Amino acid sequence: DAMVIQNPRYQVTQFGKPVTLSCSQTLNHNVMYWYQQKSSQAPKLLFHYYDKDFNNEADTPDNFQSRRPNTSFCFLDIRSPGLGDAAMYLCATSGGTYTDTQYFGPGTRLTVL
Amino acid sequence: EDQVTQSPEALRLQEGESSSLNCSYTVSGLRGLFWYRQDPGKGPEFLFTLYSAGEEKEKERLKATLTKKESFLHITAPKPEDSATYLCAVQAGGKLIFGQGTELSVKP
């Protein structure tokens, strides 16, 4: 089945230690998104790629970066995680236009010690 | 400012007790309204997309409707497995704007 896959599902890191989360998709979608979701809150868009074009949200901290080496994969790098970065990180994809439905992966739960 | 408000924040139902969840929105140029279901510790699961006022979509016990100002998710004869958080989102300015969600609990 075509899907959005995130690895790992659970990630524990130490304060200040860089961490990378990965997302892959078999839907062959052009657009890939990264969201942060904290407990009992709505998902918050961090950035997205439209094909190779990177689009950063204005309020996304510089601590968060992303890479998309090819259509299928996208990575979220957190350079120096703080305690406030502990959250669920969701990857989503959509087809060729912004009105297309976004399909989400299962998420990666990040814990910062 | 584009905004999405969901009510109630939490809803407790008995099995078989039908009800509705509300999603009110203010957005300049609606380009789609989406309903998702989210189970604890998991990513949102897509349910419906609605594009124009008057549109309705159904899936099993769920039915979504759309007006110019709000959307309803009607749940008919819910079962315990329908317990989850239901998220509403609108497509505006090239991105999804989410509501805070309604946490639904269905007791047997």
Residues 6+ apart with CB under 8 A from A92: A4, A32, A33, A35, A102, A103, A104, A105, B43
Q: Domain residues for A15?
A: 4-112
pLDDT at B95: 83
pLDDT (tens digit, 9 = 90+) per residue, A57-110?
A: 999 999 999 999 999 999 999 999 999 999 999 999 998 666 689 999 999 999
Q: Could you tell me the mean pLDDT of each successive run of 10 residues in chain B, 108 residues long? A: 93 98 91 95 95 95 96 98 97 87 97
Q: Domain residues for B73?
A: 3-107
Domain count, chain B: 1
Q: Which chain B residues contact residue A102 at CB under 8 A?
A: 34, 46, 96
Contact B87 A103 (CB under 8 A): no
pLDDT (tens digit, 9 = 90+) per residue, A18-42?
A: 999 999 999 999 999 999 999 989 9
Separation between Cα atoms, residue B78 and residue B102, nearest integer Å: 15
pLDDT at B38: 97
User: What's A40's domain CATH number?
Assistant: 2.60.40.10
By the 8 A CB rule, do A68 and A32 touch? yes
B residues 6-35 closer than 8 Å to A (CB): 31-32, 34
Instruction: Supply the DSSP symbol for B30.
Output: -
A residues 48-77 closer than 8 Å to B (CB): 48
Among the partner-chain residues A6, A41, A102, the one whose CB lies closest to the CB of B96 is: A102
pLDDT at B48: 96
pLDDT at A2: 63
Domain count, chain A: 1
User: What's B90's domain CATH number?
Assistant: 2.60.40.10
Q: Is A104 on the interface with B (CB under 8 A)?
A: yes
